[in-house]
Structure formats: C-alpha cells, structure tokens
Structure 1
Amino acid sequence: MLFLWLLISCSPHGGDASPISCYNDRGEATDWFYMYKLPKEHGTASGLRYFLLDRGGADWAPGQGDINDTSGALGRTLGQLYTQKTEVAYILYNDQEPQPPPLRPIHHRGGHTKGVLLLDTTQGFWLIHSTPYFPASPRAMGGYSYPDSGVHYGQNFLCVTFPLKSFQTIGEQLQINQPNVYSCDVPPSFAAAVPALAAACHKNGTWVPPANRSVALTSVGGTRFVDFAKGAAFNDDLYHSWVAPALRSDLLVQYWNRSGGILPSDCSLGWKVLGVTRVSPSGSPAYNHTKDHSKWAVSLGPAVFDSEGGGWLCVGDINRNRAEEKRGGGTLCQRDAAVWKAYRTAAVDFQPCGSAS
C-alpha cells in the first residue's frame, strides 16, 4: 500500500483524470518544452544537470533539481505513463531498448529513433529524445527513473502536447520511420480515432508508407511544427538533401560523431549543412561535440522570408553518417525566436565546408 501511495503522490495530477500533457518544472501543464542535459564532465559531477525552455520562456532556465527527479519536467511528464488510472494509449520506441544490465548492449537495425507517445481520448504528448535504454516500460516494476546510459553524454528532449486528431498523422510518420517499438498498448477504444498508432504498435496495417514525407502539426496551444520522416528507402542524408532545402535555411547540425562513415559539412546544393564542433547550452562551459549524444539542427541565421520571427530549430533522431542514410528517422522543427536563439547560441563553433573533421 505504501508503494502505491508513493506512485500516486508523484503523479502530476495527484491521481485524477486531467488530460495528458507535457509538464514544466513548476508542475504546470505546458504546450511544449525543450530540455538539454549537460555531459557528466560539465556542470556537475553527477551528469544530471539540465536546462529547460518551455512555451513563454525567453531563454534556457536551470533545471529545478536533477533530471532524475520525479518532480522535474521530465519526471512529471513521463510519470503519467506509470500512474494513469484512466484508459490511455502509449507507444515507447528506441533502437536501444531498455534491457537488464547483463543483456546490454542491444542495437536494432530498423529506424534510428527514440521517443514516447502517451495519450488519452482528448490529447497527449509526443516526447522525442536521444537517451539509450530509456524509458522503462510501464509493465516493469517501479516508476520514472533516468538511466545510467544517459548520464555521461549530453542529451536532448523535445516534448509537445498534441490534440487526439494529430496522433493519426504522427502514427503514419512513425510507420515511415520504422521504429523499434518495445512497449505499447493501443486499446480497441482508440483504434477508430488513431488506427495508424494501432498499426505502429502491432506492426500491421494496410497503409504502404512512402520513402519520406513532411507534415504540418499543430499543438494543443496552437504552436505550429513541421515533421520530417524518412524510411530506409530514402537512402540519403536527412539534413543536406531534404531539411535544409525544405526550410530554405543553412543549418548547423549537432549529432553523434563517434560512429563510422561520418559525413563532413556540405555546401554543394546551395544550402550549407555544417557540423557543430563546440557546444555551450545557456553559456555553460563549452565542450567538444564528441561529448554530446543529441541530434538537433538550428538555422545558421533567421529563416528566409521570416514572417514569424526567429529561425528554425529541429530536434530528432538521425546522425549524419553513411549507415544512417539507409535507416529510418526524422526531425520535428519549430520556428520560434526564443527557441532559435537558445540553440543558435549553444552552437559556439562548427566545421566549415571543405575542412577535415
């Protein structure tokens, strides 16, 4: 009984049936948030320090506590996965799924994707992240916990609250991405509204996904995003061959550089795609890109024909290497002045075209 009481008391709703949402560090439902966890060598010895920027914020704010805290933004948001009393649908996917330590590592060769979908009959959230072996299935014992596998390197998170109708489109995008779904439940009561989620969960369905597709998505609060999803058949670099031309923006891209076949910065198609080499979120001590496992892209300057203000920021799944040209994945992009500035200033140096890595 004590264990059950602790689970309920950690819920952002206190056990009631409030709509599922992203949550900020103040315990408030929010339309979206970005989170940047620093590497272990920078900020604190624990490797659990983070910065947060949610809707209405002007810049990064220091996290209130550690990323492992159940009362923080990530703990409150994912805590709903373990404490809900009403019927929900969820999908957890990760190319490096959670496994007991003796069974690690495991690397699936489908989509290079990591994320969480959780929704009720009115709305839910989509969390895109970069952390291996995370999060634990709700079928496992215990609640929210941040894994050791995400401590050493920098990690990134984007959470967006979407209305129910958006999850049909998101489900189709997931099918293009070909993710490794390691835990899911889409009850029959959701099947009529979001059949694409049921198909992604059960790996069935009659829809034949295209090689790639971009779609517009609008959050519960009216924020507009553009999602780019590619499958293995796309067989090209996501950022250089597609995202940069589509957004009409030169891009600085932060990605995992500790793999084979890394692609150099490329200016050959008219739009520059430049690899970030030094990172400093919120003015923290700058560190080398090899200490960062995040996958994000920020426009070099404000977007062309920028009627909304600010440039583009995209958070996603794919690294720039030869192997991942042949794997599914994608990126979710937003144009917002504060978000663009937060990430543009985090990219303190980059590799020019024509230079060695």
Structure 2
Amino acid sequence: MSRSSTCVYFLQHSSFQILCGNRDVVLVWIYVFVVIKRKEVCVCAYWRLGRSCMRSAEYCISVAPVQLTMLFLVILTTFLCSTYADISCYNDDGQPVDWFIIYKLPKLKENPDHDGETYMYQDASTQAWVESTHTMNDTDGAVGHTLQQFYKSGGPKNEGVAYVLYNDQFEEKMSYPSKFGHTKGVILLDQEQGIWLVHSTPKFPPKLQEGYYWPHNGLRNGQSFLCVTYSYSSFKAIGNQLMYTEPDCYESSLPPSFADDFPELVSASQGKFVKKPPWTSQVTLTSVGGKAFTSFAKNGHFEDDLYSGWLSGALESNLLVQFWPNSAGVLPSNCSIEYFVYSIEYLQFSQAISFSHHIDHSKWCISKSANDSGKPWTCIGDMNRVEGEMKRGGGTVCTSDAAIWKAFYKLIEKYEDCS
C-alpha cells in the first residue's frame, strides 16, 4: 500500500430484529466499513430502523503502523461476535453448549425446598448431576434461556428462523387423540445450526405470543429434557424421524428457504406421516461438537412396545426403563426376550431427594450394565411402556457415554424384576 493510499474494508452487512414493547418487530439493517488511511483508522457505521432514514456515525483514531493489524482483528472479531449468534442449547450460566440433560424434580411433600420447579442439570463439563440454582420458570435457566431464542425470534415475520413445536398433550382435552404419536419436543434453527429439544412435559412450552413460563400442571411430577445442538444439514434426518413419530404440531414456521431444504419437516408439521413399511427408523445424528446421538423413531403401525419390541435388541442391551406407570395397561418387566427390559420403580438423588416412579413423568432408559454390548447406553425420549402406546408413534434419543450412564444408574434404587 502506498503512503498516500486509502483502503476501505467492508466488514459486515447484518440484519436483525428488535421488539418495541407490544408493537410489531422492527427490522434493523447495519452496514459497517473500516477506512484505513496512512496514520488513521475510521470505523463507519450506517443503519436503518424499519423504513426510517439511513443514519450514520464515524469514529477515527490515530495508530502506529505496527498496531494496525491487531486493531483491525479486534474490531472485526468484536463486531461479528456481538451482532450474531447461532441458535444453540444454553447452559445455566447463559453460555452455548453442545448438549445438556435436565431432570426436573417432582414436588416433594417431605422436602419443601423442592416445590416442583427445581431441577438437576448435566452437560459435558459437569460429568455428573448438579443441582441448579435456577428454577424451571426462570428465563435464565438452561431450558428458559434456550427457548428465549424462540420467543425473541419475531415468529413467522423472521424468515431467517424456523421452528416446530409439538406435544400430544398441549390442548385441554378429556382424552388425547391416538392418531398422533405420544411425543413432545421443540425444533428451532437458523441457517447455520439449531436445536432439537426432546422432553416429557404436557402443555409445554407455551405458544409464541404467551412468552416463556413453566406451566402449573408441570409442578407435581418429574420430567426429562435432552437438548442437542445440531448442524443445519442434520434437520433433514430429524424431519424424517418426525414423519415416523407422528407429532401433534401446535405451532410452526418454516419459511421458503427452510421448506425447500427440509420437505420432511414440512410434511411432519402438517400431519403428513409415513404410509408404508418399514414402520421404524434409526439414524445417527452428530452434534456440532462431534458427539454421536442415535434417534429411534417408531410409527403407530409398528404395534409393539418401543423398548422390548425394538430398542433392547437394537442396542444389544438389557434395559432399565423409567416411565409414567399410572396409565391403564402398564406392561410388566419382560424377560422372555433375548435382552431383558425392566421397569424402574424408585429413584434417589440423595437422602433428601428420593421419589417413586408414580410421581415421575420422565421417560428414559439405560443399559442395565455398562458392559452390555460394550457400550453404556442412555436414552431420553417420550414413550411409556403401556399397551395403548404400542399403537402410537414416538421415540427416544440415545448416546453411549460413561459419565451420563453413571449419573442415571446411580439414581435407581429399585426396579421390578421378572416374576
């Protein structure tokens, strides 16, 4: 560069949306340039709010040549990081994480500190259960913070975000339609990556216009959550899995670019499911952090128990299963098959935190031994072991991780042996 030259670097053209009270979303466009002269660096920003006139600002400083490159990198990194963040699972500290698992504790009469909103948390950094200082109703907690990305997205007006919310027990109904699967979850993604949150809670999460809160019906019983951050391309396979599980979708937005890339997700959100065998689908998904998760999805035409009819054989492991045992037609432990399936009856985090499966609505299972098939499996999903769900869609997401398996295995105080 000659001594008299001036270089102009176009840093970023970014758009985002802000909420103005209860009014409509306002689109904000930002253009940033860095002008580098002989001894001076100027950062020039131009922005427009909605349809208002273009505004501008300029800030210049004198720098020595040796500082120029470093200053440019700092400005570039700071700007890019502060103006855009990919959709991700978030931990209890408000930091993006590859995945997390939450065990919402039941309301414990003998322990008033656990009023139905407290939870245990784990991710790759904890290596075990950690009692959260947040509650399920907090928007600063892991689930609340993660879902705030949905509530602050601007909804269908934002064509850079797609989402599908599904829950077979969302609406107030005397009985829930068996034409849909017994499945609950949230899919939320931008054009880089997104999350799949698999959970067990009825009437959750609330619709976009209601904002985030923990429902009163979610206080009494235990609940489970698995959040995983996946790359954009992974949602094609995830959409395909939903075509097997037959979700009851109660809110969705799939703008044209997402709909073109993920027709399976569109079909599932519109109640269009698989119509011919095979009636099961197994797929390995890799998180953005490189961790393998295996999704098992069954259609109602499979007409068998997810765990004894498929999962134990597929994982080549005897299974210990936690599910809601208060429905009609509960299936007993099954030792008549190659890999046995046992029903968990009592759980304990500590002497102060223990409870029966009768107040635990979570859905998960683990291999009975860490040595089964050489892999310590843990699966978190949305299906019970009851006759009625043999003819309904649903599934679970499994991973082989010694720390996760150990955390769940330590909880089991009692299970039903085969009679």
Q: TM-score when scaled to structure 2?
A: 0.76
Q: Write the letter of the residue equivalent to 2:200.
A: S
CA change 1:185–1:208 in 2 (3 A) is: farther
Choose the corresponding residue for 2:367, options 284, 287, 299.
Answer: 299
Tell me if the contact between 1:36 and 1:281 (Cα under 8 Å) persists in the aligned partners: no
Shift of 1:210: 3.2
Aligned counterpart, 1:125:
195
Tell me if the contact between 1:111 and 1:178 (Cα under 8 Å) persists in the aligned partners: yes
Paired with 1:3 and 1:50, the residues of 2 have a C-alpha distance of 32
Structure 1, unpaired ranges of 5+: 5-13
Give the structure, 1 or 2, with the largest relative contact order (CA under 8 Å, sep 6 or more): 1
Matched, 1:350 2:415: yes
Choose the corresponding residue for 2:204, options 121, 127, 134.
Answer: 134
Matched, 1:63 2:132: yes
Paired with 2:175 and 2:251, the residues of 1 have a C-alpha distance of 15
Shift of 1:70: 0.4
- Classify the secondary structure of the residue corresponding to 1:280: strand
Matched, 1:316 2:381: yes
Paired with 2:253 and 2:85, the residues of 1 have a C-alpha distance of 20
Shift of 1:291: 0.8
Aligned counterpart, 2:400:
335
Paired with 2:276 and 2:234, the residues of 1 have a C-alpha distance of 19
CA change 1:331–1:232 in 2 (3 A) is: same
Q: Write the letter of the residue equivalent to 1:96.
A: Q
Paired with 1:243 and 1:283, the residues of 2 have a C-alpha distance of 32
Paired with 1:151 and 1:206, the residues of 2 have a C-alpha distance of 35
Paired with 2:349 and 2:225, the residues of 1 have a C-alpha distance of 13
Paired with 1:176 and 1:349, the residues of 2 have a C-alpha distance of 33
Paired with 1:104 and 1:204, the residues of 2 have a C-alpha distance of 22
Aligned counterpart, 1:274:
342
Paired with 1:52 and 1:3, the residues of 2 have a C-alpha distance of 34
Shift of 1:305: 4.5
Aligned counterpart, 1:145:
213
Matched, 1:96 2:169: yes
Aligned counterpart, 1:243:
311
Tell me if the contact between 1:185 and 1:201 (Cα under 8 Å) persists in the aligned partners: no
- Classify the secondary structure of the residue corresponding to 1:286: strand
Matched, 1:37 2:100: no
Tell me if the contact between 2:279 and 2:302 (Cα under 8 Å) persists in the aligned partners: yes
CA change 1:185–1:240 in 2 (3 A) is: same
Paired with 1:303 and 1:19, the residues of 2 have a C-alpha distance of 38
Percent identity for Structure 1 against Structure 2:
44
Specify which structure has the higher proportion of strand. 2
Shift of 1:198: 1.4
Shift of 1:248: 1.1
Matched, 1:226 2:299: no
CA change 1:56–1:208 in 2 (3 A) is: farther
- Post-superposition Cα deviations, 1:73-128, rounded to whole Å, max 9, x if no partner, equal 0000011111025521100000011x4xxx45562321000000000111100001
Aligned counterpart, 1:201:
269
- Classify the secondary structure of the residue corresponding to 1:281: strand
Paired with 1:72 and 1:3, the residues of 2 have a C-alpha distance of 24
Aligned counterpart, 1:23:
90
Paired with 2:293 and 2:103, the residues of 1 have a C-alpha distance of 19
Q: Write the letter of the residue equivalent to 2:117.
A: L
Paired with 2:227 and 2:90, the residues of 1 have a C-alpha distance of 9
Shift of 1:193: 1.8
Q: Write the letter of the residue equivalent to 2:207.
A: S
Paired with 2:414 and 2:380, the residues of 1 have a C-alpha distance of 19
Shift of 1:209: 6.6
Q: Write the letter of the residue equivalent to 1:31.
A: D
Q: Write the letter of the residue equivalent to 2:202.
A: P
- Classify the secondary structure of the residue corresponding to 2:177: coil
- Classify the secondary structure of the residue corresponding to 2:261: coil
Tell me if the contact between 2:315 and 2:373 (Cα under 8 Å) persists in the aligned partners: no
Q: Please report the RMSD computed on the Cα atoms of aligned residues, expressed in angstroms.
A: 2.1
Shift of 1:203: 3.1
Structure 2, unpaired ranges of 5+: 1-19, 24-80
Shift of 1:200: 1.4
